[in-house]
Structure formats: structure tokens, C-alpha cells
A and B are shown apart, each in its own frame.
Chain A
């Protein structure tokens, strides 16, 4: 039973454009959500978080939107840069335990 779903295994975006990564969840008990970024042969790196009581959080080029009624969140990256090419994991959190999505591989084309 996948509680956090990332339905797009990969996404290709032109450099300078907006990248939108989507995530759906089924567990209404999550207290917060996180996005992690992972380069090959490295551990995941925390990118941005959002509390379940918020609907938006912004940090520089990264914005996360949460739609609780739809149980959907999205990560917007604008403008997209070549260094953004990585696998992005959507993660739901309750207390200190995390439930991970399968990841979306983002490819930024020059």
C-alpha cells in the first residue's frame, strides 16, 4: 500500500523553465511533508518542507504547494538550472518517521 505516490518516474524540462514535480498521498495523518533531492552515489539531501497546516512554503527558487482536500502536493522549481538534474523524493512525515515516494528523475535540458 503506497501511502505516498509519485506517478511520474521522470520529467524533462528546458533550462530556465519551470519544473513541476507532483506527489499524491493517501494518509491524512501526515504532520508534514518533505522534498529530498538525490544525486547518483550520494545520500538524499533535504530540500524543502511544509507543515500539514500550511498550503505553501517558498525558499528561493523552490516552492512547495499543499492541497489537503486533494491530498496532493507539488514542488515548483523556477527557473530550472542544470544542477537541478537529480531524483526528487516526496516524503510524508508523522512524528519522526518518514514514508517515501518512489521518486521522480528530473532532467534539465540545456
Chain B
């Protein structure tokens, strides 16, 4: 089945220790997104790639970086995690031109910062 996969599902890191979260997709979608979600709040968009073009949201901290080496994979790098970065990180994809522009989400990675 075509899907969005996120690894790991749970990640524990130490304060200030760099961490990388990964996302892969078999949908061959040209747009990939990273969201941060805390508690039961709405997901907050951090950035997205339209093909190889990187688009950063204005309020995304510099501590958050992303890489998309190819269509299938996208990585979220947190250079120096703080306690406030503990959250669920969601990867999503969409295919530009699809009516409704539905985004398909992975299961998320829950990050815990000690």
C-alpha cells in the first residue's frame, strides 16, 4: 500500500543533543511537509518542500533544518533540542494538482527531550 512512513515512532534525546527524524513516502508526491504538534493543538507547519524547493515558515526557529535528498525521503534535523521542542512531529505529503490538495500524514514521531 502506498503510504507515508516515519521513523522512529518514539525518539528520546538529551537537551542540546542533535537529533534527526526521518520520513519516507511511496506515493510519489511532489510536496512534503513537516509539522510540529503539541498536546491537542493544531499541527503547526514548520516548512515544506515543493520538489527540491525549500519553503520555511517565517516563525520556524533556526534550530530546525530539513533535507530532501530525493522525492521519497525527507529529514527533520533539530540541531540543539530544548525542552520546549518535545512534541509530536508529523510528516505529510501532497500531490499538487489533486482536487482538494489532500495531505497524507505519517503516524508521527513523538520526541522526548530529557
Contact = CB atoms under 8 A, between A and B. Distances in A.
Contacts of A105: 40
Given A32-B100, A96-B31, A102 B42 contact: yes
Nearest to B4: A43
A39 to B, nearest CB: 10
Interface string A85-110: 00101000101111011110100000
A99 to B, nearest CB: 9
Interface residues of B, number: 25
Contacts of A49: 99-100, 102
B101 interface: yes
B105 A96 contact: no
A83 to B, nearest CB: 18
A43 B101 contact: no
Interface of B: 4, 6, 31, 40-43, 45, 48, 50, 90, 92, 94, 96, 99-108, 110
